[in-house]
Amino acid sequence: MSSFHNLQELRHSASLANKVFIQRDYSEGTTCRFQTKFPSELESRIERTLFEDTVKTLNNFYAEAEKIGGQSYLEGCLACATAYLIFLCMETRYEKVLKKIAKYIQEQNEKIYAPRGLLITDPIERGMRVIEISIYEDRGSSGSSSGSSSVSDSTAR
């Protein structure tokens, strides 16, 4: 639970400096994918590989959710036959994956992003159009971004 305190204290002791929006990547069609291009605003805040890993994992999750295969076909037929009443009892595959994504984002926030003064908003909150990353500046520091990661670590403790 100590990692959770980091997020709460982040919000209370830090102020929102900026927000970065990762747009959708439509190059491979209209399925849900986000651009893995590393935004310049995050250059001093987080390592490129960590960020790209996060976005790639999210893209994989979405691809899994939208995959059309045997299971989704059966689910669709069953749903149609029962006039979609079956969804009163069970969850759709897409909803299951969305829950997994929410858990993954929270875990990433706690472990990787909050210690660096960043916060990822679940894209579902923004209609799957953007991944919103909030950049927090620690109130104690004078706004210098180079020392902010160490400063936020000490405030989090």
Partner 1 sequence: MRECEYSQISTRSSTPMETPYKSRTPKRKKWEAFPGRNKFYCDGRIMMAKQTGVFYLTLVLILVTCGLFFTFDCQFLAQELSPIIPVIGGALFLFVLGTLLRTSFSDPGVLPRATPDEAADLERQIDVANGSTGYRPPPRTKEVVINGQTVKLKYCFTCKIFRPPRASHCSLCDNCVERFDHHCPWVGNCVGRRNYRFFYMFILSLSFLTIFIFAFVITHIILRKSHCMGISYNAEYCDLFCQCQE
User: Would you tell me which residues interact with partner 1 (CB under 8 A)?
Assistant: 11-16, 19, 21, 24, 26-30, 80, 83-85, 125-127, 129-130, 132, 139
CB of 104 to partner 1, least distance (A): 21
CB of 49 to partner 1, least distance (A): 25
For partner 1, which is the closer residue by CB, 53 or 132?
132
For partner 1, which is the closer residue by CB, 70 or 127?
127
Residue type for position 104: Y
DSSP states of 30-99: SS--B--PPPGGGTTTS-HHHHHHHHHHHHHHHHHHT--SHHHHHHHHHHHHTTTGGGGTS--HHHHHHH
CB of 93 to partner 1, least distance (A): 15
Q: Tell me the C-alpha distance between 81 and 61, whole Å.
A: 28
CB of 6 to partner 1, least distance (A): 14
For partner 1, which is the closer residue by CB, 29 or 143?
29
Phi, psi angle pair for 96, to nearest 5°: -60, -45
For partner 1, which is the closer residue by CB, 111 or 129?
129
CB of 69 to partner 1, least distance (A): 18
Q: What percent helix, strand, coil does the chain show, rounded to 5? A: 55, 15, 30
Is residue 51 within 8 A of residue 38, CB to CB? The reply is yes
For partner 1, which is the closer residue by CB, 12 or 100?
12
